[in-house]
Structures are given as C-alpha cells and as structure tokens.
Structure 1
Amino acid sequence: MTTQEAEMIDKIFGLGDTTVREIMVPLVEVVAVPSTTTPDDAVTVMLERGFSRLPIFRQRVTNLVGVVTAMDLLRRGASVRALEELMRQPYYVPETKRIDDLLREMQRSGVHLAVVVDEYGGSTGIVTLEDIVEQIVGDIQDAHDRAPASMERLPDGSYRVLARTEVDEINKALDWDLPKEDYETVAGLVLASLHRIPRTGEEFQVRGYTITVLEADTRRVVVVKIARTGKPEGG
C-alpha cells in the first residue's frame, strides 16, 4: 500500500468526525439567484462563474427553495419564463450532520448539492458532493505542501488565507499559535481584534503576527495575508 493510499483510507474513516458545518460554503459566499430569474440570465451566471448548478431563493437569500442545473436549462429553458418552473426541490441537511452519512445519502439519491439549514430552518450554506470528495483526495494531491487548500504560501514567507479558514487548521498545519477565543475562523479573529469590519488594505498586529486585509466588503472579510513576525510577548 502506498503512502497516498494509506492517507486516503485515513481520511475516509475520518469523515465520521466531520460535520457539514465544517466544510459547507457559507451563505454569504453562495451565488444564488431569485426564483423570478429568467433562464437566459441564469445561463449567463453559470457561464461567468463556471457553475453547473445554481441555488434559487424566494424573497430572501436565507430562503433557498430550489436548485436548477445546466442540463435543466439546456433541455427546457426555452419553454419557460422563470426558473421557478424548472427548479428541483432542494435536499436539506442540518449543520450537524456527519459528512460520511451525507456522502452515502447523496450517492444513493443521485443528489450533487445539498442546502444546509440551522435549527430554525434558515439556510446557512450549501455543500456539494465535490466538497465531500475533496475531504478525501484534496489534500493528498498536495501531499508535500503542509498548508491547507485554503492557504497559499507567498514568496516572502507569508500566507494568503481565505478568511473562512479555521484558526485551528492554520495553527496545526503551520505549527503556529494564532490566538483562538470565541470564534472559529480567521474572519472571526479579525473582527474580534478590530471590533469592526475592516477595509481592504488595512494591517494590524496580533500576538506576533501581522495580518493584512487583502479583500473585504461592507459585510465580511474575504481574504487576508498573515505573516509571522516573531514570538508573542511572554512566549
């Protein structure tokens, strides 16, 4: 058995310890369209983004009510006025569902995209079959790179990091000690440090690290750069 095969088996068994919430695409990052969208406009979005499926919402984005596929649009798009006539019923799953169970359900039912909901029934994100498969094979493709796929090492030794990356994941991968308090992600660390949503280009220090905001909008932090500048005081 090769090292890659052994790692893959370990990851398959490890799926039972991972919940949907840990791997889902958060709702703020989901590209969804209103149910009143025309098929032509939906095709444009798919082509621009490279998607084969689009979640559909009614009235507000937290109310995801359907999914439309590129194949649906190809076969019947010319015969309808709005996506509501084409959309398929979404496959809803709770945030706490284990992804090994979800993988079996998706394989059995032929579903490729599930809508994640919280305890109140509101949509909080989506998870695809590809997301789950990447948990098994994604990191193995970069077996010589210690950084997770959500991180990119830059020439100066710093890292470009998606803000939704978990702090624990970074600390484990890089043997760092970024502070972890009442938040899970790098975005949470930034907001807890600044107590506001930062602007693109802002830079600040936190316990031996310099964090630069590379991309942010009015609601969220998207991408940051993190550089280790030295041991924190008392470390």
Structure 2
Amino acid sequence: MSDDNSQSSQGSAGKSWLGRITQMLQGEPQNKEELVEVIADAQERALIDPETKDMMEGVLSVSELKVRDIMIPRSQMITLDVDESLENQLPIMVESSHSRFPVICEDKDHVEGILLAKDLLPLILDKSDALPALREYLRPAIVVPESKRVDTLLNEFRQKRYHMAIVIDEYGGVSGLVTIEDILETIVGEIEDEHDDEDEHNDIRQLSKHVFTVQALTPLEEFNEFFSTEYDTQEADTIGGIILHAFGHMPSRGEIIDIEPLQFKVTNSDNRRIIQLQVTVPKTETTEDHVE
C-alpha cells in the first residue's frame, strides 16, 4: 500500500512538473505582438514603470525601422562649404550649436567629410590672425543607404565609434543624414539639452519625404494649415485631442490609427496624455512644399 501511495505521489509530482513546464512554454510570447502585450501587462502589474515599458517598446520598434524613417532630410541638413573660409562659417556653427557638420563641395550631393567642432578648440590658443583652411580638419564621412536597418546601424555606430552618417538614395544622391542621437530618441523619446528652445515643443519636424514628427500639443489650426487637412477644431484644440478621440482610449506607444488622409503613430505617451506623434502622408499626396 505504501509503495502504491509512493508511486502515486511520484506520478502526481511528475504530472505537476510537466503541467508547469507546459504552462511556461505556452505562456511564452510567440511573436512580437504577444511580447508587447507581455510588456504592457508587466507595467499594469507594476513590475516595471511606464518609462521602462516605453523604452522596451522603443527597442522593439527599432528593429522594424529603416534609416529613411528616422533620418534628418536633406532640406534640413546644416552644412559647411569646404571652399569657404572658416572665419565666415563660424556664425553658422555657433548658431546651430551642433557638434558635427557635413562639409560639402558645390552642393549637398558632394560631401567632402565631417567636421567635429571640438577639433577647432586648439585654434583658441593660436595667436595667428589667419584661420587655417577647413579642409585640414575634415574627418571621413560614413555613407549608408536609406534602406539600412536602424538596429544594424546602431551596432555599427557603437562598434566603429562614429556618431553621424550621410544617407544616400538608390541613385547615389544624398537624401539626408542620421546620428546616433536620432536612434536613441526612437528608443527613449525626445532628448533635450540646454540648447533646445522651449518654444520648439509644438513644432512639426520632417523626418523624410512622407514622414513627420509632431508634438501632440500642436494647435489643430496650425496642424491643418501645415498638412492642408480639415480636422474639426470644434472637436479638439490640439492634434493630440483629435487622436485621443479617434482611439477612444489612451493609446500606448506604437499604436497606429488612420484618420483620412493621414496615418498617425503614437511615438511617446504616458498614462495620462499623448506626447508625440509620427505622421505619415500618403505617397500619392504632394509634399513638395516641405521638401527641398
């Protein structure tokens, strides 16, 4: 009898362990959508905070993006002329507050190299009246195609220790540039420093020919004027209000909704408000007014 009870107990234990293993296997996310749900559930149960959840979802979103989705478009590139005197271009550098500048010859399709502002610091100690030629301070420009995966580029940035790359299209023309900060902002949200203007929070910024990043608090009238849309200003004061009404719930980061004629993706939000949106204009729409 005792032997039978022992065997029965061992059998029950075996079934119990098998059941638990099966449950663990069944509970594992089988695709990215299920993994996002697991992350959201972890945040709801206070296992992780909202900022950690957003960051984890940002990491997942990076694997789906191409460089063209996050690059600074050609029209917004601040460049220096390799044949222009350094003295004449210092005001551009000071005003932009950038640390790196593409240096061009003739036009933006001919990038000669990258200038690091810190390389000019020794000039402060130089008593000479004449500043040297800009070409003497150029570093090689890294070139990447628009179609390159963002996560692959991030690994290259880290391994090769460079922070900026020139982006080219399929015909070899320069279509923009991308920095390591652009990738990090995709993961953790907007990174601001002491040089950022507080008045820029409501700006609409172009990321590529058909993709824009928009602050949710952008006044609806300003949004309608920029995109030639006719969203009802009686329904909401801001574009974020329109998006919230369309969702019918507080959307999480990464949620997408179509409100004709545009597509909206929530790129930054918390439990109380939508912070930032990615707006995609249909490729059939004309966006020449916003593109060089």
| Pairing of 1:1-235 with structure 2 (within 5 A) | 1-75=48-122, 81-138=132-189, 149-154=213-218, 157-158=220-221, 160=223, 176-178=259-261, 185-186=280-281, 191=286, 220-221=289-290
Which structure has more helix as a fraction of its residues?
2
Q: Deviations over 1:148-175 (max 9, x none)?
A: 85235345x44538969xxxxx896675
Q: Distance in 2 between matches of 1:70 and 1:63?
A: 20
Q: Deviations over 1:129-187 (max 9, x none)?
A: 1100000111699xxxxx985235345x44538969xxxxx89667522258xxx9549
Q: Deviations over 1:12-53 (max 9, x none)?
A: 122111000011011111111211122223322111112111
**TM-score, reference length from structure 1:** 0.65
Give the deviation of 1:62 after TM superposition. Answer: 1.4
Q: Structure 1 residues 19, 3: CA separation in 2 closer, same or farther (over 3 Å shift)?
A: same
Taking only aligned residues, the RMSD between alpha carbons, in angstroms, comes to 3.5
Q: Match of 2:215, as an amino acid? A: M
Larger deviation: 24-33 or 39-48? Answer: 39-48
Q: Distance in 2 between matches of 1:40 and 1:67?
A: 17
Q: Distance in 2 between matches of 1:44 and 1:175?
A: 43
Q: Distance in 2 between matches of 1:34 and 1:19?
A: 29
Q: Distance in 2 between matches of 1:73 and 1:11?
A: 36
Give the deviation of 1:84 after TM superposition. Answer: 1.4
Greater Rg over alpha carbons, structure: 2
Q: Structure 1 residues 187, 158: CA separation in 2 closer, same or farther (over 3 Å shift)?
A: farther
Q: Structure 1 residues 98, 38: CA separation in 2 closer, same or farther (over 3 Å shift)?
A: same
Q: Distance in 2 between matches of 1:33 and 1:18?
A: 29
1:213 match = none
Q: Structure 1 residues 32, 7: CA separation in 2 closer, same or farther (over 3 Å shift)?
A: same
Give the deviation of 1:66 after TM superposition. Answer: 0.8
Q: Distance in 1 between matches of 2:80 and 2:174?
A: 14
Give the deviation of 1:119 after TM superposition. Answer: 2.2
Q: Distance in 2 between matches of 1:121 and 1:59?
A: 16
Count the aligned residue pairs. 182
Runs of at least 4 residues off by over 3 Å? 76-80, 157-164, 170-175, 184-190
